[in-house]
Amino acid sequence: VANKEPAKADVLHGTLDLMLLQTVAALGPLHGYSIAARLEQVSGGALQINMGTLYPGLMRLEQRGLVRSEWSVTETSRKARFYTITAAGRRQLAAEKAEWARMTAIMHTLLHNLG
């Protein structure tokens, strides 16, 4: 029944949305498992996102109108819910990417030039 387990989710909070959006935007309609698998694969196993984090995140994006979803069938004929990015999602992604780049540039400068 415990619903306030902030530690894990909050760490990922800012970046999780961005990662999910980027994955869905780059690879087109995906179901939840393949999104998680893709993130794990790309990060070389460093990012293991469990269901309790993944699905609330996807639902949050959907509630904000950044992705939409529908039930469909995989190549192997299994039923799954597929997520697609929306126009608003692309705009949001572009904005967040730019912000992320700006932030990392600042951090880079900070960490290297003040050493």
The reply to whether 80 sits near another protein by the rule CB under 8 A is yes
Select from 24, 98, 7 the least CA-distant residue to 61: 24
Q: What residues pair up with 67 in beta bridges, in sequence order?
A: 85
Q: How far is the CB of 102 from another protein (least distance, A)?
A: 20
Contact 57, 20 (CB under 8 A): yes
Q: Which of residues 7-66 bind another protein (CB under 8 A)?
A: 31-34, 36-37, 48, 50-53, 55-57, 59-60, 63-66
Instruction: Count other C-beta atoms under 10 Å from residue 84's C-beta.
Output: 15
CB nearer to another protein: give 95 or 106.
95
Q: How far is the CB of 88 from another protein (least distance, A)?
A: 8
Per this entry, what is the length of the chain? 115
- Locus of tokens 């880079």: 108
Which stretches of the chain bind another protein, using CB under 8 A?
Answer: 1-4, 31-34, 36-37, 48, 50-53, 55-57, 59-60, 63-66, 78-81, 92
